[in-house]
Amino acid sequence: MMEKLQHDLPGLREPDRRISGLLLDLDGTIYRGDEVIEGAPELMKALREAGVPYKYVTNNSSASPAAVAQRLRAMGIPASADEVCTSAQAAAAYAAEHYPGGKIFMVGEEGLAEELEGAGLQLVEEAADAVVQGINRRFTYEQAAAAVRELLSGAAYIMTNPDLLLPSKGGLFPGAGSIGAMLQAASGVQPVLIGKPSPVLMDYALGRLGVTREEVWVVGDNLATDIASGDNSGCRTILVLTGLTDAANYERYATVANVSPYASCVSLDELRRYILRA
């Protein structure tokens, strides 16, 4: 039997299936903005030493996997680009599957552009097969108008992630979901969602991980995205109280998201013990 974990949050229980692979959230789980979360380097080094396969899975579409890996290494966390799965990668893979070699009107940043072009898609300003929209911190009214024109002309709509807010230095800022809300309101077109809680990004990451979903556990700090996406993908889930969710707001967030984790850990040190002693 494992030692009792140090809190009584609902959903805490012993593993009922093998932990043969992990899909790990980043912001709020491994780091907060530019600050590493206590215990993250030790957790990731221990997972590597134990041979537990994992992928970092992020809704962020602005940075390339190489840039994400470099950011992690700067925090003392071992990481390679191959270990990172972004919503931009999954969106590009989805668009390439459904519109091979197609024309894409992009609302996004460099990381999304790299993935779309790398998937053999053409970035255009008009007559697009699809609008692919992520975060764009230089978004303008003119870009909104052009995107809406494409959607009203029949282009499909693919959105990297529905996050309304994103954490950054200085607080919370509008995310891809806030831009998407504007485009949806103006065009009346509902997008295909790629990022968490949609299973599209998770299925992409599971394919990259190469472990059956029944043996993969999803770890994150957000019930509405990380934990919901794990449930939607048939994985077990572990909530960590290192970011958005804490013991005080758990009930409120669980009610709003209508989801609960299989297990919960108050810290990454506790998570490391939970995984490696299971």
Is 8 one of the catalytic residues? no
Q: Which of 8, 27, 82, 231 is catalytic?
A: 27
Query: Are the beta carbons of 55 and 26 closer than 8 angstroms?
Result: no
Catalytic annotation present for 203: no
Q: Which of 16, 25, 34, 163 is catalytic?
A: 25
Active site residues: 25, 27
